[in-house]
Structure 1
Amino acid sequence: MASYLTPEQDQRLRRWETVNKSYFIFAFLAMICLLVFSSQLGLSSGDSWGPLGVLLALLIIPIIVLQLRLKCPACERPIGWQAKLMAPDQCRHCGVFLRARR
């Protein structure tokens, strides 16, 4: 018998997916703008990445934090890097399907 998430657990997981996707899109666009306009903004030169490197790290760190914060709503064990932008289909620890039964 396959187990599924409750509607509340599913809603919590979908909220994580929405936040994760939204931040990824924002960070991607911000990184492109930073890289394209870094010399005009005075953030980098041919020799030094100083402030540009710090800004890129500040954009990437939340992506890592979001990935590490994801936990299976059923067993509360970290899913971590098993998820990319979306939650995986099934938790590898407890076997629950991470999609509510429709």
Structure 2
Amino acid sequence: MSGAGGTGGGAGPGMLRRLLRAFEEAAPGEGLAQIADRLGLGRAEAADMAGYWVRKGRLRREEIGAVDCSGCFFASRGCTTCPDGSAAVPRPSLVALTPVRQNPKGTA
């Protein structure tokens, strides 16, 4: 069980802030799975918490690769459409979560 104020495990306000800070301080290539493990969270719980920060505009969710790509030669070159007109076969894409840097007040 989580402690009062979300200081233990679980999705309290303190853990939400810890997750955001972990993304802000993450090493290059460190992903949600590693951050969840480091914070002692389940991956589904960490994903739900990250979704909260995406909705609040503090994390950016970016899909890298096309979700509906057929996996042809052109797809590996960054194309997002199927040039041969064949039906696209769904395949997973890489999802990146990156912190949105907040500008200090009074700066452009």
Q: Indicate the structure with greater strand content.
A: 2
TM-score range, shorter chain: under 0.3
TM (norm. structure 2) is 0.24
TM (norm. structure 1) is 0.25
Q: Work out which structure has the larger RCO, using CA pairs closer than 8 Å and 6 or more positions apart in sequence.
A: 1
Q: Indicate the structure with greater helix content.
A: 1
